[in-house]
Amino acid sequence: MPVYVAGHKSPDTDAICAAIAYAHLKKKRGMDAVAVRLGDLNPETEFVLNKFGIPVPELMTDATGKKFIIVDHSETTQSPDNMDKGEIVEIVDHHKLGDLTTPNPIFFLSMPVGCTCTVVKKLYDYLGIEIPKEIAGIMLSAILSDTVMFKSVTTTDEDKERAKELAEIAGIADIEAYAMEMFKAKSAVAGKTPRELIFRDFKDYVMSGKKVGAAQLEVVDLSLLADIKDDLYEELKKVKEEGRHSVFLMLTDIMKEATELLVVTDEPSVVEKAFGIPLEGKSVWLEKVMSRKKQLVPPLEKAFAEI
Amino acid sequence: MPVYVAGHKSPDTDAICAAIAYAHLKKKRGMDAVAVRLGDLNPETEFVLNKFGIPVPELMTDATGKKFIIVDHSETTQSPDNMDKGEIVEIVDHHKLGDLTTPNPIFFLSMPVGCTCTVVKKLYDYLGIEIPKEIAGIMLSAILSDTVMFKSVTTTDEDKERAKELAEIAGIADIEAYAMEMFKAKSAVAGKTPRELIFRDFKDYVMSGKKVGAAQLEVVDLSLLADIKDDLYEELKKVKEEGRHSVFLMLTDIMKEATELLVVTDEPSVVEKAFGIPLEGKSVWLEKVMSRKKQLVPPLEKAFAEI
């Protein structure tokens, strides 16, 4: 029976590329490892896999009776359905420690760096395994995506150095030019419904017992979203009504390095508690905020613990 | 503010020695790290620290407002009191993934090996940090203790190889003779109350919502316990009445490589479900069972999920 390697639901580029890169490493170490995905690819990830000629991983959302290596999260809500009826054999991550547990000891490595592919690169180096050119390309892409070309506060020197090494292996001479090409692909909103855009990168959390959704849409220029912002907000209301206490949608401007945060919540005071700015209307403007993981979720968790 | 490095409650030799060894590594890396303990030392650990001239770590049981590195577990019930009012900055472990969570990304390394000190040895080697002779001695002791001189099913080649390297640094020529010396110290029961013996190595778990205590007493020969077995059982009943659904006490014979399991429970059928042997009377005899982590807890968790 193969071991499936999966990132999180609503996969982003790191969730997909870390799964592919780590599955390759495990195959080289003799494991029958197969990268899978838990949802549709976003346009950025499609661009990346296409660019380096890597096939799209198979969709595999139910863990019943299966073995999984989990990458890029350690949260029940983000892992395959019925994970408790399957088996987790390893976890490789770079997020906060989530609520997944296991009945047996496993290999678990998480590092406070900007991208799971940075951790995977370190494992390749530690084990002395060669990284194929196209795998290096998608790992570099994941680091550029997760760190927003090293501008996110989550970025560490490890990310920058591992990215430089990966660019060399992949034959990418101009990292910045490549990143812009990728971000333009990521910004594609034409022809997509508001629901598709909200769920392009959506994660559910449990904060002080309340179900909270947090989505992020990154674009090279927020003006690209001007025409559809009201439609996004109306759809966000519906998403909230589907059993959530609150939903947050980060509209992140990659170039301005700031986020307009759309909010639908039963408790508007949580926004001021978390960010020091009262919610008046549909959104708040957050300067220098680009990272859901480091700048949105921790202050929200603290605020939810207080209400 | 220092960062405290702590193993689990009811500390065993690995919990104490991994904390001391990892605190030393972090100090060498520039962190103001201080090893602490969450409870009294058992006679084996006393022997080990005394043998290598290492001072007993300070007692520090409340995490309120403090930073901790957690070693040798990742369970709320085994970590410092009020851990949610303090901060976990790292975790290094070799057990099943427990229920601790963090609001921020941290360094977390767990490996399916026999001892936390095996993982710590790998980190020393990876980072190229020299291990002082006396630290090598206590790390070796922890590996010999956790793997019962490489006889426990939890033992891996990693444990054996790292132990050999540590013995060389520590100047221990005859590992087996040293292990026997240590196990004799561990077997000391004279002058101890039944309660002290039960809580020498006691862990609380939550299994399918039920609080379950599991203690282990390892001796070189079970005949050492013949006179006090009834007293241990009577005390175990009291421990069970302190809010637990079940309590298990492993009386493990290191030389025979087997365990007599004393049981007090609301649901005796759980024993047969877990081990295939019906509980008739106070205990069951489990051949080849020496590891609470790998041979007691997983089958019990499965059995509790079924009742």
As a whole number of angstroms, the longest Cα–Cα distance in chain A is 56
State the best of B68, B73, B84, B110 to mutate against chain A, taking most chain A CBs within 10 Å: B110
Q: What's the rounded Cα separation, in Å, for the pair B162 and B142?
A: 11
Cβ-nearest to B105 among A96, A109, A301:
A96
| Residues 173-202 (B) with a CB less than 8 A from some CB of A | none
User: B60 and B166 share a domain?
Assistant: yes
Q: Which of B118, B152, B184 is the last residue of a domain?
A: B184
Chain B residue with Cα closest to A98: B101
Q: Which of A125, A151, A184 is the last residue of a domain?
A: A184
User: B12 and B157 share a domain?
Assistant: yes
User: A174 and A198 share a domain?
Assistant: no
Look at residues A117, A147, A112, A299 and name the one whose alpha carbon lies nearest to residue B106.
Answer: A112
Q: What's the rounded Cα separation, in Å, for the pair B116 and B25?
A: 14
What number of C-beta contacts closer than 8 Å exist between A and B? Answer: 86
CATH number for B101: 3.90.1640.10
User: A53 and A160 share a domain?
Assistant: yes
ipTM more than 0.85?
no
State the best of A97, A113, A123, A126 to mutate against chain B, taking most chain B CBs within 10 Å: A97
Per-residue pLDDT, A191: 86
Kindly state whether residue A89 falls inside one of the protein's structural domains: yes
Kindly state whether residue A63 falls inside one of the protein's structural domains: yes
Please list, in sequence order, all residues whose beta carbon lies within 8 angstroms of the beta carbon of residue A122, skipping any fewer than 6 positions away.
Answer: A111, A158, A162
Average pLDDT, chain B: 96
Kindly state whether residue A279 falls inside one of the protein's structural domains: yes
Is B106 close to A98, i.e. CB distance below 8 A? no
Helix axes of A175-186 and A157-170: crossing angle, nearest 10 degrees? 100
Per-residue pLDDT, A255: 86
Per-residue pLDDT, B136: 98
Is B104 close to A294, i.e. CB distance below 8 A? yes
State the best of A68, A110, A113, A122 to mutate against chain B, taking most chain B CBs within 10 Å: A110
- The alpha-carbon gap from B174 to the nearest alpha carbon of chain A, in Å, equals 30
Kindly state whether residue A278 falls inside one of the protein's structural domains: yes
Residues of A within 8 A of B112 (CB-CB) are: 104-107
**Quick one: CA dihedral B150, B154, B160, B165, positive or negative?**
negative
CATH number for A198: 3.10.310.20
HEC-encoded secondary structure of chain A: CCEEEECCCCCCHHHHHHHHHHHHHHHHCCCCEEEEECCCCCHHHHHHHHHCCCCCCEECCECCCCEEEEECCCCHHHCCECHHHCEEEEEEECCECCCCCCCCECEEEECCCCCHHHHHHHHHHHHCCCCCHHHHHHHHHHHHHHCCCCCCCCCCHHHHHHHHHHHHHHCCCCHHHHHHHHHHHHCCCCCCCHHHHHHHHEEEEEECCEEEEEEEEEECCHHHHHHHHHHHHHHHHHHHHCCCCEEEEEEEECCCCEEEEEEEECCCHHHHHHHCCCCCCCEEEEECCCCHHHHHHHHHHHHHHHC
Q: What's the rounded Cα separation, in Å, for the pair B36 and B57?
A: 5
Kindly state whether residue A80 falls inside one of the protein's structural domains: yes
Chain B residue with Cα closest to A105: B96
User: A209 and A173 share a domain?
Assistant: no
User: B17 and B150 share a domain?
Assistant: yes
Is A107 close to B110, i.e. CB distance below 8 A? yes
Mean pLDDT across the stretch B84-93? 97
Cβ-nearest to B126 among A97, A112, A126:
A126
**Quick one: CA dihedral A27, A32, A33, A39, positive or negative?**
positive
User: A85 and A159 share a domain?
Assistant: yes
Chain B residue with Cα closest to A295: B104
Kindly state whether residue B13 falls inside one of the protein's structural domains: yes
User: A28 and A140 share a domain?
Assistant: yes
Bridge partners of residue B216, in order along the sequence: B250
Residue B81 per-residue DSSP state: B
Residues of B within 8 A of A103 (CB-CB) are: 96, 297-298, 301-302
What confidence tens digit (pLDDT) does each residue in B201-255 have?
899 999 999 999 999 999 998 988 999 999 999 999 999 999 999 999 999 998 8
**Contact status of A103 with chain B (Cβ, < 8 Å):** yes
- How many structural domains comprise chain A? 2
Kindly state whether residue A189 falls inside one of the protein's structural domains: no
Q: What's the rounded Cα separation, in Å, for the pair B145 and B114?
A: 10
**Contact status of B299 with chain A (Cβ, < 8 Å):** no
User: B85 and B110 share a domain?
Assistant: yes
Tell me which residue range forms the domain holding A249: 194-306
> Does the pLDDT at position B166 exceed 90?
yes
Is B104 close to A96, i.e. CB distance below 8 A? yes
Residues of A within 8 A of B298 (CB-CB) are: 103-104
User: A148 and A45 share a domain?
Assistant: yes
Average pLDDT, chain A: 96
Q: What's the rounded Cα separation, in Å, for the pair B262 and B203?
A: 15
> Does the pLDDT at position B188 exceed 90?
no
**Contact status of B125 with chain A (Cβ, < 8 Å):** no
User: B70 and B124 share a domain?
Assistant: yes
User: B49 and B180 share a domain?
Assistant: yes
What confidence tens digit (pLDDT) does each residue in A71-108 have?
999 999 999 999 999 999 999 999 999 999 999 999 99
- Helix, strand, or coil here: B51? helix
Q: Which of A184, A219, A248 is the last residue of a domain?
A: A184
What confidence tens digit (pLDDT) does each residue in B112-159 have?
999 999 999 999 999 999 999 999 999 999 999 999 999 988 999 999
Cβ-nearest to B298 among A104, A112, A294:
A104
**Contact status of A67 with chain B (Cβ, < 8 Å):** no
Is A95 close to B110, i.e. CB distance below 8 A? no
> Does the pLDDT at position A307 exceed 90?
no
